[in-house]
Amino acid sequence: MADVAAAAVKPAWPGDKRAIVNSPANITDPLVLFMPSGKRGRFPVGTPVLDAARQLGVYVESVCGGRATCGRCQIEVQEGNFAKHKITSSNEHISPKGAKEERYERVRGLPERRRLSCSAQILGDLVIDVPQDTVINAQTIRKDADTRVIARDSAIRMCYVEIEEPDMHKPLGDLDRLKIALMKDWGLKSLDFDFYLLPQVQGILRKGNWTATAAIHKDADSETARVIALWPGLKNEAYGLACDIGSTTIAMHLVSLLSGRVAASSGTSNPQIRFGEDLMSRVSYVMMNPDGREGMTVAVREAISGLVDKVCAEGNVQRGDILDSVFVGNPIMHHLFLGIDPTELGGAPFALAVSGAVRIKASDIGLKLNQGARLYMLPCIAGHVGADAAAVTLSEGPHRQDEMMLIVDVGTNAEIVLGNKTRVVAASSPTGPAFEGAEISGGQRAAPGAIERVRIDPDTLEPKYRVIGSELWSDEPGFLDSVQATGVTGICGSGIIEVVAEMYLAGIISEDGVVDGSLGARSPRVVANGRTFSYVLKEGEPKITITQTDVRAIQLAKAALYAGTKLLMEKQNADHVDRIHFAGAFGSFIDPKYAMVLGLIPDCDLDKVSAVGNAAGAGARMALLNRGYRREIEETVSRIEKIETALEPKFQEHFVYAMALPNKVDPFPKLSAAVKLPPRKTVSEDGIAGDATPRRRSREGHAARRGRE
């Protein structure tokens, strides 16, 4: 019976971890989707969730052999209608807690909503979240702060004063004498106080023996200065948060407002991934579930609160010492974080609820810092070009340059900014989650064990690769020992870009992205897969194969990005760009050469293509430490011209040309001078190679095709 169950969940083709054979025997088996990896499959009723995860290559920690004693295999069932995935998930679709699980919960305790995947069995369609706090080999969140020095002029000033003691002959209240001291010593002539401080003033002044330190908040010069916190005696610590809320990951920096030093940095996966991998699927979830907006708002705020705990522990800082915060994110993340329904962003005219900068108290959204702490969000540029793009613009400064600078932040929704000090234009392109491992048969997020670098020998078609967690290539001595702890589990975004580009350079795929099936005679790496062909990157378990569908997913993603860039170039009347900056954690690990071979970006000198890391986080730090940068980006955003790609008639034309590698019509002379591009060839959709002229298929070709069918 076990053999029958195993056969029922056999992948549809080697390496494919998304689709399961839809034979009459199992087409009605429950569909299970694991988040945040995005891997899915159909499994017979009664299959343990842990077994399903292992068969799909989803990493779920378990050290007790499924005896429900270690507690490391915890999962959560996400409830709701997930329209994109055609799944309605419910706790009723998983088995009730059994004796082993109840014993573990009674003895060790189990967090609310958590289940042990070794005991829980599949009864119906499920969306399963693998909590990242239970995963030792979790996704690598690579968003450390850069080392730039930022001139300090923050919205917070720490002002120490000595106050006159009460005098019966001068019947002034303690608060009024504090105001006089602040005016005398610091020139603060007009001051307001946060109301919560009024009942505390007398106790604070007496505890400090008539000395105190006031935290003064003043963002814009036109604003009235405001006392937002007060301590007895001398207080010489004040911190702020700079946070980039990405659709996939969240990065946070804890920064000293007095020195500018980054005290701690941390990152985590955005828990909203379980509601949808891309932005539009999250909007759809809100539209189809009455409590969808609230659920996603709570999820992201809880994740941010957890990051605050992490950076405070790492930096040895108390939450009460955090007085200011700057947040950035794309428009949908921006709205959900603020508790705003993003539905209007799901369709034209993509109306933002608020586009300008937001200034509120951190407590207004339940963020527990100092009671008087403030929160500032950078302005959004357009309906799908958000505060994160504004922060990247602030960080990289195309509006300060003579050169034509292209900034690309590659994510599920790519944001593109192009310009110089004369004119800046911006747009977004719906690249989808393919570059982050989703929708790719062997794809996964960046974590130890994921393939991140690939090279293919053009003569033998044999590959070699490197994985996260090891410095060795797969053909070097000691490689297997170096990856013993993690194994080779899949392929992440940078590896996906490189393997497709290398397949093109080696002639395995044509410029139109079709796998050349005739190469199967030269190499066992090229294998038939139904009516198409695939390339086997890694043998063994798990077997990692690049399918024709995978190549198409990458082509669609890169074509959307290039088409958006091409539109901006036309708006600028520019036939080239002088400099290209890749922003974001993913951009930091893209090899510029392979990005250009793929046609992800336009032709440019390779030495002028660079990764700028988490530029959105850097822009958030700049706005945190210097009020002048807030005014600069507010004014700059008001001048940036927004291009809506969905409304541009030439977008589709550019998109079609950009499906080719690197492009069907645009020349790449600078790339050609640096990289030997393969001669152009055509391959039919069923993998038959040829030249550019139509010709009659040979009998051998017909026979081969009939054999595959």
Residues 136-150 have pLDDT tens digits of 444 444 455 566 778
Please work out, in degrees rounded to the nearest 5, the angle formed at the alpha carbon of residue 150 by the alpha carbons of 147 and 156. 125
Rounded to the nearest 10 degrees, the angle between the axes of helix 387-396 and helix 627-639 is 110
Q: Does the residue 551 lie in any domain?
A: yes
Domain boundary residue, one of 206, 232, 258: 232
Verify that 411 and 275 share a domain, yes or no: no
Verify that 184 and 315 share a domain, yes or no: no
Give the span between the Cα atoms of 463 and 289, in whole angstroms: 46
pTM: 0.76
548 and 514 in contact (C-beta within 8 Å)?
yes
Report the chain's C-alpha Rg in angstroms: 28
The per-residue pLDDT for 233 is 93
Give the span between the Cα atoms of 175 and 230, in whole angstroms: 11
Q: What is the CATH number of the domain that holds 190?
A: 3.10.20.880
Verify that 98 and 192 share a domain, yes or no: no
The per-residue pLDDT for 680 is 81
Q: What is the CATH number of the domain that holds 330?
A: 3.30.420.480
121 and 92 in contact (C-beta within 8 Å)?
no
Residue 515 per-residue DSSP state: B
507 and 525 in contact (C-beta within 8 Å)?
no
Give the span between the Cα atoms of 424 and 380, in whole angstroms: 15
Give the span between the Cα atoms of 393 and 387, in whole angstroms: 10
687 and 532 in contact (C-beta within 8 Å)?
yes
Verify that 223 and 259 share a domain, yes or no: no
Q: Does the residue 486 lie in any domain?
A: no
Verify that 504 and 631 share a domain, yes or no: yes
What is the DSSP pairing of strand 405-409 with strand 579-583? parallel
Give the span between the Cα atoms of 142 and 624, in whole angstroms: 21
What are the residues whose beta carbons fall under 8 Å from the beta carbon of 122, sequence distance 6 or more? 30, 32, 43, 44, 45, 46, 47, 48, 49, 52, 93, 94, 95
Range of the domain at 405: 397-443+500-678
Give the span between the Cα atoms of 450 and 442, in whole angstroms: 10
- The Cα-based distances of 496 to 37, 59, 475, 557 in angstroms read 15, 19, 19, 12
Verify that 312 and 423 share a domain, yes or no: no
Domain boundary residue, one of 198, 232, 266: 232
**10 Å Cβ neighbour count for 213?**
20
332 and 283 in contact (C-beta within 8 Å)?
yes
Of 291, 269, 270, 273, the residue nearest 282 (C-alpha)? 273
Total tally of structural domains belonging to the chain: 4
Using CA of residue 545, residue 546, residue 548, residue 552, what is the dihedral sign? Answer: positive
Q: Which residue has the tokens 């499924």?
A: 66
Verify that 220 and 92 share a domain, yes or no: no
The per-residue pLDDT for 18 is 33
The DSSP result for 476-500, as a single string, is STTHHHHTTTT---EE-HHHHHHHH
Q: Does the residue 387 lie in any domain?
A: no
The per-residue pLDDT for 274 is 79
Q: Does the residue 278 lie in any domain?
A: yes
Residues of the chain with pLDDT under 70: 1-27, 62-65, 132-147, 277, 433, 436-438, 585, 685-709
The per-residue pLDDT for 684 is 73
The per-residue pLDDT for 655 is 95
Element (H, E) at 428: strand 424-429
Q: Does the residue 342 lie in any domain?
A: yes
454 and 465 in contact (C-beta within 8 Å)?
yes
- Is the peptide bond prior to 349 cis by the omega test (within 30 degrees of 0)? yes
How does pLDDT run across 91-147, given as a tens digit for each residue?
999 999 999 899 888 888 888 889 999 999 999 999 998 886 655 444 444 455 566
Verify that 417 and 564 share a domain, yes or no: yes
Q: Does the residue 188 lie in any domain?
A: yes
Q: Does the residue 668 lie in any domain?
A: yes
The per-residue pLDDT for 701 is 41
**10 Å Cβ neighbour count for 23?**
11
Q: What is the CATH number of the domain that holds 98?
A: 3.10.20.30
Q: Where are the alpha helices (DSSP H) in 462-582?
A: 479-482, 493-505, 548-571
Element (H, E) at 617: helix 615-625
Task: Report how many helices (DSSP H) and strands (DSSP E) the chain contains, helices first.
Answer: 19, 31
**10 Å Cβ neighbour count for 247?**
23
Verify that 646 and 511 share a domain, yes or no: yes
Verify that 369 and 409 share a domain, yes or no: no
Half-sphere exposure in the Cβ direction for 332 (13 Å, CA):
29
Give the span between the Cα atoms of 330 and 389, in whole angstroms: 7
The per-residue pLDDT for 411 is 73
Give the span between the Cα atoms of 278 and 291, in whole angstroms: 19
Q: Is 393 exposed, middle or buried (0-12, 13-18, 19+ CB in 10 A)?
A: buried
Verify that 431 and 526 share a domain, yes or no: yes
Give the span between the Cα atoms of 190 and 702, in whole angstroms: 87
Give the span between the Cα atoms of 564 and 652, in whole angstroms: 10
Verify that 283 and 201 share a domain, yes or no: no
Q: Does the residue 453 lie in any domain?
A: no
